[in-house]
Amino acid sequence: MLTLEEIFPPFGLRLRTPRLELRILQDGDLPELMVAVDAGIHEPGQSPFSVPWSEAPAEELPANMARFHWGTRSGFTPEKWELAFGVWFEGALIGSQSLTAHDFAKRRAVESGSWLRKDFQGWGIGKEMRAAILLYAFDFLGASMAESSAMTWNRRSLGVSYALGYLDNGLRREYDSQGGATEVQHLRLDAQNLLRPAWTLDVAGHEAFARFVGLTPPAK
């Protein structure tokens, strides 16, 4: 009988840093994920997300979260994929870090997005979990470039990007969760410009995942 990781190799990926473990969220993790969301991510009315999913009515948010994670799996192909990692700190699920790619075999480019429980912000965890997926993308998958974005008022998110070597890459105007206009800062990081942490990333499950997305032989 096949294991779940053999059926869907992304479930076998494990990224470990000195303080964190990142692994793909499964259905059994959703209740704990909702505990993290309910603990608060940002101040009311100050959503940092282009799609203000965290401000959905409380009775709708759990099902919305489940639909999102089911959707990342059902739409997963070698040409278009999203790794929706949960982030565990001392055994507690405290946030999520995503890594996405479109036509990765040709473009060698990735994008990222993340959120973290408010009571764990300011500990350097946001930088550590972003560094984990960048090291995986550059050193294992063979990416050459990573992109990200944040609203210009979101200094904490931008600070994480700048601390890892990202450079500004243009502005875009969007509507915020209150219906007003806001500026979004795009950022770009070329692999050779990554400001690498002092620690080494530990990775499990890479070879099976690389084959699953058509990287044969695996990049590392």
Q: Domains plus CATH for the chain?
A: 4-144+199-212 (3.40.630.30)
Long-range contacts of 96-101 (CB under 8 A, 24+ apart): 96/25, 96/33, 97/22, 97/129, 97/130, 97/132, 97/133, 99/133, 99/136, 99/137, 101/143
pLDDT digits 0-9 by tens, 119-159? 888 999 999 999 999 999 999 999 999 999 988 888 888 89
Confidence of residue 4 (pLDDT cuts 50, 70, 90): very high
pLDDT digits 0-9 by tens, 30-83? 999 888 877 756 656 555 556 655 555 777 777 888 888 898 999 999 999 999
Helices 125-135, 155-163: inter-axial angle, 10-degree rounding? 50
3-state secondary structure (DSSP) of residue 172: strand
